[in-house]
């Protein structure tokens, strides 16, 4: 980690936690003190123009229901296609919710070797969750009309659009250039750390660690992490209570007017 700090191109600090004695408060206090010390300098920074090919956009779905895969998620996927066409870097994630879609993704990979890596990343996710005895499928997903993890995966896959996949990232890896990237957030090796995506905020943090300037977040059941440290586009798969402090689009109209919701996602990125 110390070696990679210079690669992040942003202020970083390392702190330690004594896991043997479960003393997390010391590390948390050190982290808070460091963040407070950085705020003055960050507040003095001035916005500067960005080219589209400098933009990094991440996408995540949370609280998915039976409408997510036919409204909000494909709208974000189409917006990704538009952004990738402008050479922006776009990151979709979660191999644990793409079970059954691995061959489709491999077929879109820019090289056969990358296609093989993508397949193996999903195989790893299946093994990981099988070891835990619990996959990424919640009671709320079932209450919202989803029936299986593979059905949920098809909806999550729609977030990726139709562009060729340029690479496979791990949390903390920045996209080397524009294009579409899959984020593999399942730890390598034996299962040691428990459920890898314990909540939506963890996945958002992974995307931010990869350099995402903007997060497009879709929800069907009303999940709303709304990260305060990163601009977020909040896309609802049906009309729900809007998050008042985030740019929000309701994609319930997507069934009748797909371009309007896609333009809302695209505009959120362009107006950053």
Domain boundaries of the chain, sorted by first residue: 3-43, 52-270
Q: 257 pLDDT band (50/70/90 cuts)?
A: very low
How many other CB atoms are there within 10 angstroms of residue 231's CB atom? 17
pLDDT at 256: 44
Is the pLDDT at 20 greater than 70? The verdict is no
Per residue in 21-60, pLDDT (tens digit) is 555 566 677 778 888 888 888 888 888 888 999 999 999 8
- The model's pLDDT over 121-154, given as tens digits with 9 standing for 90+, comes to 999 999 988 888 877 766 667 677 777 777 778 8
- The pLDDT assigned to 109 comes to 98
How confident is the model over 58-86, as pLDDT tens digits?
A: 998 877 777 777 778 888 899 999 999 99
Which tokens sit at 205? 């943090």
- In our burial notation (b when 16+ CB lie closer than 10 A, e otherwise), range 237-264 reads bbebeebeebbbbbbbebeeeeeebbbb
Over range 209-219, report the average pLDDT.
Answer: 87
Residue 120: exposure state from Cβ atoms within 10 A (0-12, 13-18, ≥19) = middle
What's the pLDDT tens digit per position in 231-244? 556 565 554 333 33
pLDDT category at 108 given cuts 50, 70, 90 is: very high
User: What are the distances in angstroms from CA 127 to CA 118, 134, 152, 190, 191?
Assistant: 15, 11, 18, 10, 9
Q: Which of 17-21, 129-133, 258-262 has the highest mean pLDDT?
A: 129-133
pTM over 0.95: no
Q: Rg (Cα) of the chain, in Å, rounded?
A: 19
Least confidently predicted of 153-157, 229-233, 266-270: 229-233
Q: What is the mean pLDDT of residues 244-253?
A: 43
Per the prediction, the chain carries an average pLDDT of: 77
Question: Measuring CA to CA, which residue among 160, 16, 9, 10 is closest to residue 97?
Answer: 160
């Amino acid at each position: 980690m110390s070696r990679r700090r210079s690669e992040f191109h942003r202020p970083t600090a390392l702190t330690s936690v004594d896991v043997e004695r479960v003393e997390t408060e010391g590390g948390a206090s050190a982290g808070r003190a460091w963040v407070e010390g950085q705020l003055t300098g960050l507040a003095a920074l001035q916005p500067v123009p960005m080219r589209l090919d400098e933009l990094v956009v991440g996408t995540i779905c949370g609280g998915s229901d039976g409408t997510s895969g036919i409204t909000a998620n494909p709208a974000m996927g189409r917006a990704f296609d538009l952004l990738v066409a402008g050479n922006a870097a776009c990151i979709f994630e979660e191999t644990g919710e793409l079970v059954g879609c691995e061959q489709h993704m491999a077929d879109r990979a820019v090289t056969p070797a990358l296609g093989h890596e993508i397949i193996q990343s999903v195989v790893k996710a299946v093994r990981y969750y099988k070891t835990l005895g619990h996959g990424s499928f919640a009671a709320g997903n079932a209450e919202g009309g989803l029936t299986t993890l593979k059905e949920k995966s098809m909806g999550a896959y729609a977030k990726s659009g139709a562009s060729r996949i340029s690479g496979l990232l791990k949390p903390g890896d920045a996209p080397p250039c524009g294009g579409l990237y899959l984020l593999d957030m399942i730890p390598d090796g034996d299962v040691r750390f428990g459920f890898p995506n314990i909540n939506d905020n963890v996945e958002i943090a992974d995307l931010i660690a990869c350099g995402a300037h903007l997060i497009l977040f879709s929800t069907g059941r009303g999940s709303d992490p709304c990260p305060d440290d990163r601009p977020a586009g909040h896309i609802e798969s049906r009309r729900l209570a809007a998050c008042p402090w985030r740019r929000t689009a309701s994609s319930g109209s997507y069934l009748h007017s797909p371009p309007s919701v896609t333009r809302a996602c695209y505009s959120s990125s362009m107006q950053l």
